[in-house]
Amino acid sequence: MDISTAEHDMAMRILTIADGIEDDFANKPPGLAVLLLHRAKQEAAAAMIALADADVHSPETLRALQNDIQRFRDIARWIRETVDQAQEIARQIEAQDIRGLADLVNPEYQED
Tell me the pLDDT band of 107, cut-offs 50, 70 and 90: low
Give residue-wise pLDDT tens across range 6-60.
Answer: 888 888 899 999 999 999 999 889 999 999 999 999 999 999 999 999 999 999 9
Q: What predicted TM-score, i.e. pTM, was given to this entire model?
A: 0.73
Give residue-wise pLDDT tens across range 63-102.
Answer: 999 999 999 999 999 999 999 999 888 888 888 777 776 6
Exposed e or buried b per residue across 5-35, where buried means at least 16 C-beta atoms within 10 angstroms of its C-beta: eeeeeebeebbebbeebeebeeeeeebebbe
Q: What pLDDT score was predicted for residue 95?
A: 80
Q: Domain residues of the chain, as ranges?
A: 5-103
Q: How far apart are CA 111 and CA 65, in angstroms?
A: 53
Q: How far is CA 106 from the centre of its chain?
A: 38
